[in-house]
Amino acid sequence: MTMLTIRKGLLLLIAVVLSSQGTAQEEILKFSPKNTRDTFVRVQSIFGKAARDGAVPFQISIRNNTGRDRTWTFRFQEGNSSRRLSTVSTYQFEVPNGTEVRHEVTARMAPSFAAYTYRNLTLSVSSPGLESMSRNYSQSTNADFPTLGMSKKLARSSLTRLSDELKKINSSNQTFAHDVDVDALPSDWLGYTCLDAILLDEEDWTLVSQAQRQAILAWVRLGGRLDIFSENASDLSEFGIPLARPSATSETDLSLGSVHLQKWNGSVIPTKFISTYQAIDSRDSYLENQFGKAWDLYKGAKTIAFNPVLIFALLTIFAVLVAPVNLFYFAGKGKRHRLFLTTPIISISACILIVILILFKDGIGGHGSRVVLADFQPSPGEMRAYITQEQFSSTGVMISPGFSTKEELDISPVNLPASPFNPLSSRSRRATQYLFVNDSFDGRFFPSRSEQAFSIRSAVPTRARIELTKQPTGDTAAPPELVSNLPISITNLVYRDETGTLWKTAEALKVASGNTIPLEAAVESETKTWLESQSEGFSDSMKDQILELLLQNERFICFPSGDSSLPLETHKSIRWDDKVVVITGTVSKSKSVNESAPGNE
Q: H or E element: which one contains 59? A: strand 55-64
Residues facing residue 174 across a β-bridge: none
**pLDDT, tens digit, 9 for 90 and up, residues 401-441:** 999 999 999 999 999 998 888 999 877 778 899 999 988 99
Question: 484 and 515 in contact (C-beta within 8 Å)?
Answer: yes
Given a cut of 60, whether residue 306 has pLDDT beyond it is no
Q: What is the predicted pLDDT for the residue at 16? A: 38
Question: 83 and 114 in contact (C-beta within 8 Å)?
Answer: yes
Given a cut of 70, whether residue 304 has pLDDT beyond it is no
Q: What is the predicted pLDDT for the residue at 51? A: 95
Identify which has the larger pLDDT, 346 or 543: 543
Burial category of 15 from C-beta neighbours within 10 Å (exposed 0-12, middle 13-18, buried 19 and up): exposed
Query: Once rounded to an integer, what is the mean pLDDT over residues 542-563?
Result: 94
The confidence band for 1, taking pLDDT boundaries of 50, 70 and 90, is very low
User: What gap in Å lies between CA 109 and CA 100, rounded to an integer?
Assistant: 29
Q: What is the predicted pLDDT for the residue at 445? A: 96
User: What gap in Å lies between CA 270 and CA 193, rounded to an integer?
Assistant: 26
Question: 106 and 55 in contact (C-beta within 8 Å)?
Answer: yes
Q: What is the predicted pLDDT for the residue at 553? A: 92
Q: H or E element: which one contains 357? A: helix 339-362
User: What gap in Å lies between CA 430 and CA 416, rounded to an integer?
Assistant: 16
Given a cut of 50, whether residue 283 has pLDDT beyond it is yes
Chain-wide mean pLDDT for the chain? 89
Q: What is the predicted pLDDT for the residue at 531? A: 95
The confidence band for 24, taking pLDDT boundaries of 50, 70 and 90, is low
Q: What is the predicted pLDDT for the residue at 442? A: 95
3 CB-near residues (< 8 Å, 6+ apart): none
Q: What is the predicted pLDDT for the residue at 338? A: 78
Return phi, psi of residue 204, to 5°. Answer: -60, -40
CATH of region 148-289: 3.40.50
Residues facing residue 77 across a β-bridge: 88, 122
Residue 33 to residues 40, 94, 373, Cα–Cα distance (Å): 7, 17, 48
**pLDDT, tens digit, 9 for 90 and up, residues 188-243:** 999 999 999 999 999 999 999 999 999 999 999 999 999 999 998 888 988 988 88
User: What gap in Å lies between CA 47 and CA 148, rounded to an integer?
Assistant: 9
Least confident of 187-201, 289-303, 346-360: 346-360
The confidence band for 19, taking pLDDT boundaries of 50, 70 and 90, is very low
Given a cut of 70, whether residue 540 has pLDDT beyond it is yes
- What residue type is 426 in one-letter code? S
Given a cut of 90, whether residue 586 has pLDDT beyond it is yes
Given a cut of 70, whether residue 246 has pLDDT beyond it is yes
Q: H or E element: which one contains 446? A: none
Identify which has the larger pLDDT, 341 or 264: 264
Degrees (nearest 5) of the Cα angle 367, 371, 376?
Answer: 135
Given a cut of 50, whether residue 23 has pLDDT beyond it is no
Q: pTM of the entire structure?
A: 0.88
Instruction: Tell which CATH classification among 3.30.1370.60, 3.40.640.10, 2.60.40.10, 3.30.365.10 matches the domain 22-140.
Output: 2.60.40.10
DSSP 202-215: HHHHHHS-HHHHHH
Return phi, psi of residue 252, to 5°. Answer: -145, 145
- What residue type is 318 in one-letter code? F
Q: What is the predicted pLDDT for the residue at 409? A: 96
User: What gap in Å lies between CA 97 and CA 39, rounded to an integer?
Assistant: 10
Return phi, psi of residue 305, to 5°. Answer: -110, 140
Question: 535 and 546 in contact (C-beta within 8 Å)?
Answer: yes
Query: Once rounded to an integer, what is the mean pLDDT over residues 304-318?
Result: 70
Q: H or E element: which one contains 533? A: helix 524-534
Given a cut of 70, whether residue 467 has pLDDT beyond it is yes
**What is residue 145's three-state secondary structure?**
coil
Helix-helix angle 159-169:3-21, to 10 degrees:
70
Q: What is the predicted pLDDT for the residue at 307? A: 62
Identify which has the larger pLDDT, 489 or 338: 489
**pLDDT, tens digit, 9 for 90 and up, residues 75-133:** 999 998 888 999 999 999 999 999 999 999 999 999 999 998 999 999 999 999 999 99
**Terminal CA-CA length for the chain:** 72
**For the chain, what are the domain ranges?**
22-140, 148-289, 308-360, 361-601
Given a cut of 90, whether residue 65 has pLDDT beyond it is yes
**pLDDT, tens digit, 9 for 90 and up, residues 381-409:** 899 999 999 999 999 889 899 999 999 99
- What residue type is 469 in one-letter code? T
The confidence band for 184, taking pLDDT boundaries of 50, 70 and 90, is very high
Length of the chain: 601
DSSP 448: S
User: What gap in Å lies between CA 382 and CA 397, rounded to an integer?
Assistant: 41
User: What gap in Å lies between CA 188 and CA 214, rounded to an integer?
Assistant: 8
**pLDDT, tens digit, 9 for 90 and up, residues 144-179:** 999 999 999 999 989 999 999 999 999 999 999 999
Q: Which of these, 589, 411, 365, 431, lies nearest to 83 by C-alpha position?
A: 431
Given a cut of 90, whether residue 508 has pLDDT beyond it is no
C-alpha 320: how far from its chain's center? 52
The confidence band for 17, taking pLDDT boundaries of 50, 70 and 90, is very low
User: What gap in Å lies between CA 27 and CA 475, rounded to an integer?
Assistant: 62
- For the chain, count helices (H), then strands (E): 13, 31
User: What gap in Å lies between CA 503 and CA 556, rounded to an integer?
Assistant: 9
Return phi, psi of residue 230, to 5°. Answer: -140, 150
User: What gap in Å lies between CA 365 and CA 574, rounded to an integer?
Assistant: 5
Q: What is the predicted pLDDT for the residue at 121? A: 96
CB-CB neighbours of 331 under 10 Å = 18
Query: Once rounded to an integer, what is the mean pLDDT over residues 324-346?
Result: 78
